[in-house]
Amino acid sequence: MKTSCHTLHQKIKLTAMICLLAVTGSFAQSQPAMNWFNKPSTWTGNATKLTFTVDPGTDYWQVTHYGFKRDNGPFYYQEMAGNFEASVKVSGNYRELFHQAGLMVRIDEKNWIKTGIEFVDGVQNISAVVTREVSDWSVVPRHNSPKSVWLKLLRKGDYVEIKYSFDGQKYDMLRLAYFPPDKKVQIGMVAAAPGKQSFPVTFENFKVEAVK
């Protein structure tokens, strides 16, 4: 009788372990792989909470106004096809002109959009750069520097719509821009420090959801 009970107990444990592995495996498969482009020298975390030090001499820009090309900022991304909305909370200790952090959607070096905070004249400006061969730049000037900013980037059909918030509840639209449709893209968290100083940044609750 004891042997039968022991065997039954072992079977129950084995079944429970198999079920747990199956659920864990399904969960892992449902989480898109995240990859680094220009991995920073110091970083920790994942899509739920990512912290890293932005190395100096990094930026994303193509030609316009400055005449130079940069494509070397740290970018932690997943690949995504079709329509989607990405969101994230960003908190950075910006110190030097053009320190920046936010979201980026990217096809290649000459086709991308980045949006978030850009540090100009001592304050955190809401910023968007749209690049199709050459870059343009638009900002919403601020007179204070919020602790954090929440961003939403909607990619749908042939456009990208950008919204921002300072409380995670009320969002305002920053920009709507053309973006090539029907192409798989990289979408993720980006930062840059074009000058000589590094700075720390934290991203929280990065999420990408498919939309119709």
pLDDT at 54 > cutoff 50: yes
Phi, psi dihedrals of residue 27, rounded to the nearest 5°: -65, -45
Q: What is the tens place of the pLDDT at every residue in 20-52?
A: 444 444 434 456 899 999 999 999 999 999 999
Please give the model's pTM, rounded to 2 decimal places: 0.85
Q: What is the tens place of the pLDDT at every residue in 81-137?
A: 999 999 999 999 999 999 999 999 999 999 999 999 999 989 999 999 999 999 999
Mean pLDDT value of segment 133-155: 94
CA distances from 63 to 80, 131, 196 (A): 27, 10, 21
